[in-house]
Homo-oligomer: A and B are copies of this chain.
Amino acid sequence: MSLPETKERILDSAEYLFARKGFHNTSLRAITGRAAVNLAAVNYHFGSKEALLEAVFERRLVPLNKVRRKNLEVVRETARREGRLPGVEESLRAFIEPTLAFRKSGTGAEDFITLVGRAMSDPDDTVRNVFIRHIAPLFYMLFDILREALPELSPDMLFWRLQFAIGAMGHAICMAGKSYSLPEGVTPVSDVESLTAMLLDFVVAGMERA
């Protein structure tokens, strides 16, 4: 049929399984089985399992990064136009909000965000390198804006605080939607807006700490 359907089906299935079982613990047979396509289709359409992983990231990360980059540019431009420094909260929000909101952006997006949350600390170089390659430019951009926002903070300190913030975000992403056993009295909200608000509160406070 030559449907573009096949490639999409493989991407969806891989995204689903990579997010849940990890890259190395997911076989091509599981992926193609779930996608109801032939085993050889992966190597035919993508070349290799690793290239498939790359494609899974690329499909979502390119548009997501476009939003994040544009948001950050708006923050920078607005501040410049108004003759002031960029704010810490608006800078972090420009980066964090689209990331968490992406979860609602369509079928499979939730899987992908889980994948992203875990990719940062993935033990495997294959996964982490692919991810870092995509995320690094945005990270530097955010770092630069925060340097302007917090000029009194040393670069080292800012670097680590930003790492802490990224870590908090990644972990929040992984936890959201999961049903772990919870302490008594806790009925965790998992709607994106509340979670984003809480996370922003937390990281802004940490970032601005005197």
Contact check: which of B132, B155, B203 meets A183 at CB < 8 Å?
B155
What are 29 of the A-B contact pairs (CB < 8 Å)?
Answer: A19-B123, A20-B123, A22-B123, A24-B24, A117-B121, A120-B171, A122-B123, A136-B181, A140-B183, A144-B183, A155-B183, A155-B185, A155-B186, A156-B188, A159-B183, A160-B188, A164-B168, A164-B172, A165-B168, A167-B167, A167-B170, A167-B171, A167-B174, A201-B209, A202-B209, A203-B206, A204-B209, A205-B206, A205-B208
Report yes or no: B195 in contact with A21, Cβ–Cβ below 8 A. Answer: no
Cβ-based interface call for A3 (8 A) = no
What is the 8 Å Cβ interface bit string for chain A, positions 90-116, against chain B (1 contact, 0 not)? 000000000000000000000000000
Residues 163-200 of chain A, each 1 if its beta carbon lies under 8 Å from chain B, else 0? 11111111110110000111101111100000100110
**Which residues of chain B have C-beta atoms less than 8 A from A122's C-beta?**
22, 118, 123
Is A1 among interface residues, defined by CB-CB distance under 8 A?
no
Assembled-state Cα–Cα distance A132/B201 (Å) = 27
Total interface residues on A, CB under 8 Å, equals 59
Contact A172 B163 (CB under 8 A): yes
Tell me the smallest distance from the CB of A103 to a CB of chain B, in Å: 16
A18 at interface, CB cutoff 8 A? yes
